[in-house]
Amino acid sequence: MGPEIWLAVTVMAIAVAFDFTNGFHDAANAIATAVSTRALRPRAALTMSAIMNLIGALMGTAVAETIATQIVNLGGLDKHEQLSIVLAGLLGAIAWNLLTWWLGLPSSSSHALIGGLAGAGLGAILIQWDDVAVKWDKIGEKVLIPMVASPAIGFTLAFFAMVGVLWLFRNSSPHRTMRRFRVAQIGSSAAMALGHGLQDAQKTMGVIFMASIAVGWNTAGDPIPIWIKVLAACAISAGTYSGGWRIMRTLGRRVIELDPARGFVAETVGALVLYLAAFTPIHAPISTTHTITSAIMGVGATRSLSAVRWGVAKNIVIAWLLTMPAAAATAILAFLAIQGIGGLF
């Protein structure tokens, strides 16, 4: 195999590693509420989530195509240059994922990846690769607007849905009602895990597809091959099964103490927002982390504003705001390092 093929295989392997970190980083998104309310035991919840992530990852490719073709334009570069940018973008995203996982902050793997790709593109522009263009208009339309809208929608829908649930069950036996919602949470957690696979695994599919295009195995107009779908699906499923206990504690207990009814509503609203973003014409790669966290805050606010630990929420939002620029900055450094190392040889 030629050097470009080896580089492409390396990029794909690192993309799989990113997908794995995405899985354990975001495992809490689907199951933290169900585990915290004791609807599911932790290992059973992880197993269910891994299976649903696998199924969700195979349900569509529209988000993957957005990542592959609408973030950075690499069409005028040679194979080595395209692969260098993709590699640097992945390294920036992985670095941010690992840092926020260590700190127990539920940040967005999706925005880390998009920030990493944009940062690597900027690094290429800095060394005057004139054929590179970061598609800021598409990033604004497909990423930044949904980044603001999805938490607002998640919070608002969850708040009013929870108000409706409280009204519907106002005369019911609290013990019997909570027992029923605890059972219902199994389904809502599964729906959330399906949505996570549908959204997040597709982002890694898009990156692997970019590498495949760079070495000529595919063209930009081709459908995403089944082997890329299966590879990304299995990686995120394995990562999910490995668990993300640090972030799970933050989502399940530190933002608000959830009861089964609030957990069910938060997961149901979060899943609904993910499905709408994936299947409506915008095909926006939104953050599952932003969606479920804002929904948890929304259901918590129905108890009282003081029930939500706004200090923890503030730290989470700061991590959200830092994700894209931090991943981009790391990717720029990674790209310059790759070019420097390449120059030595």
The predicted pLDDT at position 345 comes to 43
Structural domains counted in the chain: 1
Q: Indicate whether 344 belongs to any domain.
A: no
What is the full DSSP assignment across 136-199?
HHHHIIIIIHHHHHHHHHHHHHHHHHHHHHHHHTTTS-HHHHHHHHHHHHHHHHHHHHHHHIII
Cβ atoms of 32 and 252 closer than 8 Å: yes
313/221 Cα distance (integer angstroms): 42
Q: Indicate whether 343 belongs to any domain.
A: no
Of 157, 171, 133, the closest CA to residue 268 belongs to 157
Q: Indicate whether 294 belongs to any domain.
A: yes
| Residue 44, helix vs strand vs coil | helix
The predicted pLDDT at position 91 comes to 93
Question: pLDDT tens digits for 128-147?
Answer: 777 777 888 888 887 888 88
The predicted pLDDT at position 258 comes to 75
Cβ atoms of 330 and 97 closer than 8 Å: no
Q: Indicate whether 150 belongs to any domain.
A: yes
Q: What range defines the domain where residue 55 resides?
A: 3-338
Q: Indicate whether 88 belongs to any domain.
A: yes
The predicted pLDDT at position 344 comes to 44
146/142 Cα distance (integer angstroms): 6
105 sits in which H/E element = none
- Which residues, given as ranges, of the chain have pLDDT below 50? 252, 344-345
340/345 Cα distance (integer angstroms): 9
Q: Indicate whether 195 belongs to any domain.
A: yes
The predicted pLDDT at position 29 comes to 62
The predicted pLDDT at position 19 comes to 86
Q: Indicate whether 345 belongs to any domain.
A: no
Q: Indicate whether 27 belongs to any domain.
A: yes
